[in-house]
Amino acid sequence: MSIVVYQYSKCGTCKKARQFLEEAGVDFKSKDIVTNPPSKVLLAKAYRLSGLPIKKLFNTSGQSYRDGGFKDKLPKMTDDQALTALAADGKLIKRPLVLGDGFALVGFQEDEWRKALGV
């Protein structure tokens, strides 16, 4: 199984997720979500595969979300506009974000990760 984990090194949740993957023996490629955010195309794929509402892809507790006024903007945005905003600022993206073969995981929920990764 080939997975890519978009994470931020200073994020406590990302550290827990990384530790989980390492302890489970899952092979993964790590990418810094801030310096190397996923493209709009990859975010659209993650959105589709996750089955989540677009708002769930946003890091609603982050500084970029607050500073950008997304609490008020997001309900009026199209999915395309939201994906463009996410691709432009990795700190807007809920993390960690995992892209695998036929699935995407947003945030770290251990039970969901175990099921998706078969561990």
User: Catalytic residue at 11?
Assistant: yes
Selecting among 11, 14, 34, 86, the annotated active-site residue is: 11
Beta strand segments in 23-118, E: 28-32, 97-100, 103-106
What whole-number distance in Å separates Cα of residue 117 and Cα of residue 100?
A: 9
Q: Which CATH number is correct for 3-117, 3.10.20.440, 3.60.15.10, 3.40.30.10, 3.40.630.10?
A: 3.40.30.10
What whole-number distance in Å separates Cα of residue 30 and Cα of residue 69?
A: 29
| pLDDT band for position 1 (cuts 50, 70, 90) | low
- Mean pLDDT of the residues in the chain: 94
Q: Is the pLDDT of residue 2 over 90?
A: no
Quick: pLDDT tens for 25-50.
Answer: 999 999 999 999 999 999 999 999 99
Domain residue limits, the chain: 3-117
